[in-house]
Amino acid sequence: MRLDALDPSGIPTHIACVMDGNGRWAQARGLPRTEGHRAGEEALFDVVEGCLEAGVEWLTVYAFSTENWRRPREEVKFLIDFNEEILLGRRDELHERGVRIRFVGRRDWRVPKRLIRRMDEASELTRRNRKLTFTIAFNYGGRAEIVDAVRAIAASGVKPEKISEKTIAKHLYDPEIPDPDLVVRTSGEYRISNFLLWELAYSELYFTDLPWPDFRREDLFDAIHHYQERDRRFGGVAPGG
């Protein structure tokens, strides 16, 4: 779909993506699974460009989950090294485009210190940018985020009767991130897979059979078009309904 077919007044503020299907895309072509991740990089940055063109203010992508450590050691090592390569190779380009880079997820002993250093460097370089906030969920799990928020609340000494939804939201990994308006998942899977469990309570979900390496900005615009056709009631009733 073309960008000019969209209603500019109905662009979602925040889009989140589950970038699924890299490994299967590669295997279907007789390639190693790692080649699917490489092909997924082109898709990712075409989607970033699409967000910039459409005026999306926040984009969050699921880059590496807390469950991905269970994958073969060689693939895990590739993903860690590959994410570092992307940061080094793309951060200046993103900075020039006015993109702010952020990260959410656990920074535990499994994440190499050098990768954490690259994350911090990218965040610091781009921290004043506001055209698009590009958040990368790395070593992230929705349940882990809620557990960590509860631990932080308990450690702060807040009385149980004083805990509200706002209290929990303030203790999430990045309280500044607005709840996603639209969540896109590729590769024909109809699951949330432990992604942004707290934040997507009222998000619109969009699923496509396209594997992530084949997903492009036109497909993103198609997802936005479907989003614009939906009636978001947030638990209420539409006028006259």
Which residues are part of the catalytic machinery?
A: 20, 68
Cα–Cα distance, 192 to 183 (Å, whole number): 9
Select from 167, 235, 172, 222 the least CA-distant residue to 199.
Answer: 172
Phi first, then psi, for residue 78 (nearest 5°) are: -60, -45
3-state class (DSSP) for residue 237: coil
Cα–Cα distance, 144 to 119 (Å, whole number): 20
Q: Which amino acid is at 102?
A: R
CA-CA-CA-CA torsion sign (99, 89, 93, 59): negative
Give the single-character DSSP code of 196.
S
DSSP H or E run through 18 = strand 14-18
163, 186 in Cβ contact below 8 A? no
Q: Residue written as tokens 């900075």? A: 95
- Strands 132-140 and 182-185 turn out to be unpaired
